[in-house]
Amino acid sequence: MSGPHRPRDEAVEFTVLPSGLRVVTERMPHLATAALGVWIGAGSRHEREDEHGLAHLFEHMAFKGTATRSARDIAEQIEAVGGELNAETNAEVTSYFARVLGEDVPLALDLIADILTAPAFDAGELAREKQVIVQEIGSYEDAPDELVFDHFMETAFPGSPLGRPILGTPQSVRAQSAESMRGFLARRYRTPAMVVAAAGAVDHAEIVRGAERLFDGLPRNKPEQAPTALYAGGERRVRRKLEQVHLVAGFPAVPLHHPLHEAMYVFSGLLGGGMSSRLFQELREKRGLCYDVQSFFTPFADTGVFGVYGGTGERDAAEFLNVLADEIAKAGETATEAEIARAKAQMKVSILTALESPARRAEQMARHVLAFGRVLSRAELTARVDAVTIEQTAAAARILFSAPPVLASIGPVSKLPAAEAFAARLGIAA
């Protein structure tokens, strides 16, 4: 066992167990509650072709009983102490987490360990939960402002697990079995890919002892890497009878460890990160073409995407997209120091706000350990943002033009210009 050792933030303690499981905590002396959980480097992009939706289904089934607890037992035991237990699946990480009083941290850790190490996969529970997820998929299909992002990812990464909807399809979910879930568990839920993180009223040594005992039976070898995801431009247009056209215009971006990672976030902030951003001012305030417009940057281990989401009326769709193209085309080269300073200030507030919430802090620390092998200190996080220059921001913006864009839209799309026209207006060869 290595550690515990303290990173630069004095209250943070980090231990690597002999199994490879990593434990990171931050005690917040002014708090009576704690947030804790397990973050695993296993998500939808780690599914095989016949496992589509399995990572998310497993997350659901983990709460449906273990070798020693029923689903009701799990719910009653956490709620008897006023706590709550939840989970989340995304492309590269699945997390299971709880919020409890400090004195109930051992119970919460025991519950989380139980659902991850001894899930029952009861046949009746599995059949019911599959139907629940099919209903969830149906509700998602009815939300165009969310569904359009799935269409965007499918078009950006065709044929890749990264481009598949995390929920799966009704057919792929129904095809899963207890055996497929056990196979995924054995293949992906391995201690070197897992982090136990906790913040608030916590004791590091106590959590280390509990983690070492409770997770000792999990496999100790590293899981295989996910297939490489290759970005491709293109268009996905879905005609629906809606009041608005919901669209995402997207571009290739940088992966998590790229030198321009922070600069890409800064560019996203000045382009569409708030009410003072260029897109909000031009598209909403000056022209009244939309209610909501926002940019985003999503980095992954080996790639990344940058995009803009907006909703606009059928008659305004062409003008909206043309103005959007014009603003994106010039933003990187004409950004001012004042705009960059505002975007950097927004980033720092967002980063530091996370440090004040035990739940967000536990998640932040876990994701740091999964991505960097350590917790980045407050000073390092803000220094990385402060170091971004106007030249780096322009360089990050130019990466967007290195491949054809993606245009995904849902709604009354007949007057929306085609992806080729959008690319031409940006000066990109389609």
Catalytic residue among 13, 26, 47, 59: 59
| Closest by CA position to 40, among listed 230, 189, 253 | 189
Q: What is the CA radius of gyration of the chain?
A: 23
Q: 418 Cβ partners below 8 Å, 6+ apart?
A: 235, 407
Q: Assign 315 to helix, strand or coil.
A: coil
Q: In whole angstroms, give the CA distance from residue 308 to residue 426.
A: 14
Asked if 259 contacts 299 with a C-beta cutoff of 8 angstroms, the reply is no
Give me the phi and psi of 241, to 5 degrees please.
-85, 90
Q: Per DSSP, which regions of 134-211 are E strands?
A: 194-200
Contact, 384 vs 352, CB < 8 A?
Answer: no
CA distance 61 to 94: 13
Q: How far apart are CA 199 and CA 53, in angstroms?
A: 31
Q: Are 300 and 256 in contact (CB under 8 A)?
A: yes
Asked if 25 and 13 touch (Cβ cutoff 8 Å), the reply is: yes
Per the annotation, the verdict on 179 as an active-site residue is no
Which residues are the active-site residues? 59
